[in-house]
Homo-oligomer: A and B are copies of this chain.
Amino acid sequence: MESVKSQSYEVHINELAKAALNQHVAQKKYSKVFLLVDENTKEHCLPVLKNIFDGPVDAILEIASGEENKHIRTCLQLWEELSQLDGDRKSLLINLGGGVLTDMGGFVASTFKRGIDFINIPTTLLSMVDASIGGKTGVDLGSLKNQIGVINQPQMVLIFPEFLKTLDSRQTKSGYAEMLKHGLIQNKEYWKELTLEGNFAEAGCIQKSIAIKNEVVMQDPTEQGLRKILNYGHTLGHAIESYCLDNPNRTTLLHGEAIAVGMILEGYLSHELRGLSKLDLDEIKMGFLQHFDRVEFTEDDIDAILKLLKYDKKNSHGNVNFVLLQAIGEAVTDIKVPEELFHKAFAYYSE
């Protein structure tokens, strides 16, 4: 499986990943090799990694899984451990886990002794196809996501689809939503392939998604323009995700589940405002509903979600800018949406 060349590093898959890891660590002569896990990856992924990585590991650091631990306090604990374990500037940190772990481990490595090398081994589908590209590292500040962090590239990212066998299907589908987004914004053929074929959690599809995200990021490394298209489905999706998270009467949605709803809603806005055909729109709706249960929204829910949407964007003078589709595979950015269309979009979603 072909590797993907990103800014200063490569994303390798399966056999190439194994070879790249062992070769890199042997060549670099690190003073210490540290491995970061959480209780889940310690149980399910570490035994697999032991068959992949030949080199010695000097110490295993463990953090508790979950977004609620993605905090500077956890970083402080890790910095102190690295220091007590005699970590120096020639140490390596290998991050084995989902997006929370790789974001936080990347930040800890980027700031320990003004920066040590790190390697990311994402273990969820979402982190393989999303967090693996772009060099974003960081932690939350209270309830504000990713407020503290740096942009810094890992030495390499290694993808072993084998790890996905340890996830439940709801977790895997959450990553699938991001993969479908890659098709919708950039590559119609890939969208078709994903919706028609059953098995998306395999190396070929993962590689294609990574390559699409990478192409976008490489064309716009500083997030000035094109990169915004990666936000398709996320404007309404984030508001829905936050609403369900903060409302005790609602089941919490996974990130992918929320943006799946967002992508149907923003598909409808695309049809109304940017000429996305009714055929394409219905294909998008069916594509998602085939895998994701329809979520029920009352009028009160919708009003609360739209309020959140406006509050979230208060810095841009109350205007909400959307990424919309002209066709499947063709995204446009910075589109303002009249308020009355939002209710129509929810009506279409519920039909």
With the chains together, A151 CA to B116 CA distance in Å? 11
Chain B binder among A139-147, A194-202, A250-258: A139-147
A63 within 8 A of B: no
A80 touching B142, Cβ below 8 Å: yes
A347 within 8 A of B: no
With the chains together, A111 CA to B136 CA distance in Å? 11
A76 within 8 A of B: yes
Q: How many chain copies does the complex carry?
A: 2
With the chains together, A115 CA to B141 CA distance in Å? 15
Given the complex, which residues of B lie within 8 Å of A137, measured CB to CB? 114
Q: How far is the CB of A113 from chain B (nearest CB, A)?
A: 6
A113 touching B72, Cβ below 8 Å: no
B76 touching A112, Cβ below 8 Å: no
Known contacts A72-B72, A72-B76, A142-B80: A147-B112 contact under CB 8 Å: yes
A148 touching B112, Cβ below 8 Å: yes
Given the complex, which residues of B lie within 8 Å of A141, measured CB to CB? 79-80, 83
A79 touching B112, Cβ below 8 Å: no
Known contacts A72-B72, A88-B315: A151-B83 contact under CB 8 Å: no
| 0/1 interface trace, chain A 127-138, chain B, CB 8 Å (1 if under) | 000000000111
A86 within 8 A of B: yes
Majority SS of interface residues in chain A?
mixed
Given the complex, which residues of B lie within 8 Å of A79, measured CB to CB? 141, 147-148
With the chains together, A137 CA to B115 CA distance in Å? 11
With the chains together, A142 CA to B147 CA distance in Å? 24
Known contacts A72-B72, A80-B141: A150-B88 contact under CB 8 Å: no
Closest B residue by C-beta to A76 = B72
B150 touching A110, Cβ below 8 Å: yes
A149 within 8 A of B: yes
Known contacts A86-B315, A144-B83, A315-B88: A111-B149 contact under CB 8 Å: yes
A149 touching B76, Cβ below 8 Å: no
With the chains together, A76 CA to B73 CA distance in Å? 10
Please provide the chain A residues from 146 to 164 with a CB less than 8 Å away from any CB of chain B in the complex: 146-151
Contact of A115 among B142, B144, B146, B150 (CB under 8 A): B150
Known contacts A72-B72, A86-B315, A141-B83: A147-B110 contact under CB 8 Å: no
Q: Which 3 A-B pairs have the closest CB atoms?
A: A114-B149, A111-B148, A114-B151
By a beta-carbon cutoff of 8 Å, the part of chain A in contact with chain B is 31, 72, 75-76, 79-80, 83, 86, 88, 110-115, 136-138, 141-142, 144, 146-151, 315
Given contacts A31-B315, A114-B151, A150-B150, 18 further A-B pairs with CB under 8 A are A72-B76, A79-B141, A79-B147, A80-B142, A83-B142, A83-B147, A88-B315, A110-B150, A111-B111, A111-B138, A111-B149, A111-B150, A112-B147, A113-B149, A114-B137, A114-B146, A115-B150, A115-B151
A-B pairs with beta carbons under 8 Å apart, 21 shown: A72-B72, A72-B76, A79-B141, A79-B147, A80-B141, A83-B141, A83-B147, A86-B315, A110-B150, A111-B148, A112-B147, A112-B148, A113-B147, A113-B149, A114-B137, A114-B138, A114-B146, A114-B150, A114-B151, A115-B150, A115-B151
